[in-house]
Structure 1
Amino acid sequence: MNTKIIAFFNNKGRVGKTSLVYHLAWMYNELNLRVVVADLDPQANLTAAFLNEDRLEELWPDGNHPHTIFGCVQPLIKGIGDIAEPHLEYVEDLLSNENLALLVGDLSLSGFEEQLSEVWPKCMDSDESAFRVISAFWRVMQKTAVVHQADLILVDLGPNLGAINRAALIAADYVVMPLSPDLSSLQGLQNLGPTLRRWQKNWKDRLHHNPADDLVLPQGQIQPIGYVVLQHPARLDRPVNTYNRCLARIPNVYREAILAEPVDNHLSVANDPHCLALVKNYHSLMPMAQEARKPMFHLKPADGALGAYATAAKKVYRDFQKLADKIAERTSATKLK
């Protein structure tokens, strides 16, 4: 049985998506689940959040990168074979219990974009090599799940509608959409919904042309399970009224654009069943957590989390625990232990 894959995606950048995935990965680890975190964003910010500079230099030397996601797909890029065996990086922290494993990202992954784009139409010609390229991310992730005996896989993606993200989302069973309450996020949702439905349909059409009985492919479920609103600090150039108007529009824009359902004018973020969480901006804790190289809810007095900071860290824990529970419940990926 394949391990469930949950992608976190928004085609608008700077909404806090990578931080969300990072904290959820640690929370599932806290809840005693075995998690693979796959960094499929060519910017590799999630990898940089988990690993220190010395380890990054070892994983990203000049030349080949055999221990990253790019190393896994490089034989396909070179035309010399299929996917390579994946390497998992276990996060070095006494609290991880080796439950938390990272499929390392790589800035070189952007070099896979052109090939993914070129082979997409060839799937309709029953080209087996094209199917192997398009399904590479899914097959790599499922291999990591077997090695790690993972309960679930979380995927971080870049903010665009390119071929890398198309292949990554086809690999996903579920998708969570991190949003910020602003006009560009709303516009991004309106573009995203039709694109996801088109990709899903196009992949279903291609599945019938798979010529290899022994090549197992992702089903392209891409089921939206909800959105997370990530609040940002107040800005002088973004008045409160604009923020509130954008926040109020999110439920119906999500229903129309993502779910293709009629609007419900009685909905707000507070009572929308599709809203997984409204995550506060903990701007005072984040720099502290980044310096300590740990999630905000693991901050201790030794890290500077005293008084109000310690109270805030406990609240972050409760917020992410509730969000993790809700996502696990909606995906049926696993039962929390």
Structure 2
Amino acid sequence: MSKIVVVAAQKGGVGKTSTVRNLSYSLAELGQHVLAVDFDPQFNLTTCFGINDPEKLEYTTATLMTDMLEDRELPPKKDFILSIGKVDLIPSNIQLSVIEANLRLEMGSEHLFPNLLESLRGDYDYIIVDTCPSLGTLTISALTAADEVMIPVNPQLLAVMGLQELTKTILKIKRRLNPKIKFGGILFTMCDKRTNLYKEISSQVDTAYRSGMRIFDSRIPTTVKVGEANGLGLSVLEYDKKSPAGLAYMELAKEVLA
């Protein structure tokens, strides 16, 4: 059974896009057929796959959503899905911000993106979606499509405060739009286990959420290797097979499969 996993966070800088990039690669390494979807107008995931001029792409999430808004037939899958290494990608660009404004005016628009992903579900084991660092229209649409939500959190106070707001939003979506959505789990990123802040925040999150939500055992360490790999359009494991962050993402993929 294929699964749609949305990676979401209310604030930026928590490793959300890096998690989509590296989890997608790690799952593919473990034999899964994976589609990564960039549903963020900042198109960071697209850049992390080595596409430096996304405005020149003929097809993106923006063009697909435009077709759906205007009730046009979608292009063939082979035209809008890019195969990059072991992972397939639907890229994004800045035009998606225009679509976000249009979605607010369209009746039932929150179901358009779920309909797009449902049409692709049969082709993949996992569809992993990168979202905006906010709780706007695009993120709501992505959560409406999700089977599970993975929430990356770095050990900072503001990230934990954002976690509270995101969980409330997900519960509202479950009641009103998507009864099948589940909490896939909380993932700690950018961790320095030696610091008192990490220990304190980790303990707070464990106390507050462990009884009702999975907290992944895998902890992604802070390292410049992730940023360097992103800059080269690679997963961190492709960039450095011995990187602790890359190995941690592989352990995360095994947890997801388990």
**Matched residue, 2:130:** 156
**Matched residue, 1:289:** 229
Q: Could you list the per-position Cα deviations for residues 67-94 of structure 1 after superposition, in whole angstroms to 9, with x for gaps in the alignment?
A: 10111111344xx324623510111x4x
**Matched residue, 1:28:** 27
* Aligned-residue offset at 1:24: 0.8
1:277 and 1:5 map into 2 onto residues whose CA distance is 20
CA contact 1:174–1:224 (8 Å) conserved in 2: yes
> RMSD of aligned C-alpha atoms?
2.5
2:107 is the alignment partner of 1:107: no
Q: Could you list the per-position Cα deviations for residues 184-235 of structure 1 after superposition, in whole angstroms to 9, with x for gaps in the alignment?
A: 01111111222111122122xxxxxxxxxxxxxxx4422002111012569x
Q: Which TM-score applies when normalising by structure 1?
A: 0.68
2:226 and 2:210 map into 1 onto residues whose CA distance is 32
2:209 is the alignment partner of 1:254: yes
Q: Could you list the per-position Cα deviations for residues 82-117 of structure 1 after superposition, in whole angstroms to 9, with x for gaps in the alignment?
A: 4623510111x4xx2xxx110111211112223333
CA contact 1:73–1:84 (8 Å) conserved in 2: no
Instruction: Report the number of matched residues.
Output: 255
2:206 and 2:40 map into 1 onto residues whose CA distance is 27
Counterparts of residues 49-88 of structure 1 (less than 5 Å): 49-53=48-52, 56=53, 59-61=54-56, 66-77=58-69, 80-82=70-72, 84-85=74-75, 86=77, 87-88=80-81
CA contact 2:61–2:92 (8 Å) conserved in 1: yes
Equivalent of 2:143 in 148, 154, 169 = 169
1:75 and 1:226 map into 2 onto residues whose CA distance is 33
Aligned sequence identity (%): 24
CA contact 1:227–1:277 (8 Å) conserved in 2: no
Residue 257 of structure 2 aligns with an amino acid whose one-letter code is A
User: Aligned with 1:248: secondary structure?
Assistant: helix
Structure that is richer in strand per residue: 2
**Matched residue, 2:219:** 278
Counterparts of residues 162-311 of structure 1 (less than 5 Å): 162-203=136-177, 219-232=178-191, 240-255=195-210, 259=212, 274-283=215-224, 285-299=225-239
Gaps of at least 5 residues in structure 1 are 120-129, 204-218, 262-272, 300-304, 330-337
Q: Could you list the per-position Cα deviations for residues 27-61 of structure 1 after superposition, in whole angstroms to 9, with x for gaps in the alignment?
A: 111112111101111111000110333xx3xx523
CA contact 1:9–1:175 (8 Å) conserved in 2: yes
* Aligned-residue offset at 1:288: 4.1
* Aligned-residue offset at 1:323: 0.8
1:222 and 1:41 map into 2 onto residues whose CA distance is 20
CA contact 1:42–1:158 (8 Å) conserved in 2: yes
CA contact 2:39–2:61 (8 Å) conserved in 1: yes
Residue 180 of structure 1 aligns with an amino acid whose one-letter code is N
**Matched residue, 1:38:** 37
In structure 2, the CA distance between the partners of 1:280 and 1:168, relative to structure 1 (3 Å rule), is same
In structure 2, the CA distance between the partners of 1:166 and 1:51, relative to structure 1 (3 Å rule), is same
1:288 and 1:165 map into 2 onto residues whose CA distance is 27
Gaps of at least 5 residues in structure 2 are none
2:83 is the alignment partner of 1:90: yes
1:195 and 1:7 map into 2 onto residues whose CA distance is 14
CA contact 2:186–2:216 (8 Å) conserved in 1: yes
1:292 and 1:68 map into 2 onto residues whose CA distance is 21
1:75 and 1:291 map into 2 onto residues whose CA distance is 31
1:51 and 1:220 map into 2 onto residues whose CA distance is 36
